Amino acid sequence: MVLAIGVSLTRRSVNANDWRSIRRESLDETGVLNAVTLPALLVLLHAAASCAMAGVLWIVQLVVYPAFAIVPVDTLPTYAVAHARRITPIVAPLMLVEAVTFVALVAMKVEMPAWLVIAGGLTLVANWVSTFLWQVPLHGRIQRGDVDAIAKLVRSNWLRTLCWSGRAAIGMMMVWLVLSRSAIVAG
Question: Quick check: 185 pLDDT over 70?
Answer: no
Segment 61-86 shows an average pLDDT of 97
Q: What is the pLDDT of residues 109-136, one digit of tens each?
A: 888 899 999 999 999 999 999 999 999 9
- Contacts of 103 by beta carbon, 8 Å cutoff, 6+ apart: none
In angstroms, the CA 68 to CA 143 distance is: 11
Q: Assess contact for 56 and 90: CB atoms under 8 A.
A: yes
pTM of the model: 0.79
Domain ranges of the chain: 36-186
Q: Please provide the average confidence, as pLDDT, over all residues in the chain.
A: 84
Mean pLDDT across 22-32: 52
* Mean pLDDT, residues 158-177 taken together: 96
Q: Which residue has the higher pLDDT, 33 or 74?
A: 74
The average pLDDT across 82-94 equals 97
The pLDDT > 90 percentage for the chain reads 70
The confidence band for 39, taking pLDDT boundaries of 50, 70 and 90, is: confident
The C-alpha atoms of residue 74 and residue 140 are separated, in whole angstroms, by 16
User: What count of other Cβ atoms lies within 10 Å of the Cβ of residue 102?
Assistant: 24
CA distances to 32, 136, 173 from 25, rounded to whole Å, are 11, 47, 24
Cβ atoms of 169 and 14 closer than 8 Å: no
Range with the poorest average pLDDT among 22-31, 80-89, 148-157:
22-31
Residues 64/135, Cβ–Cβ less than 8 Å: no
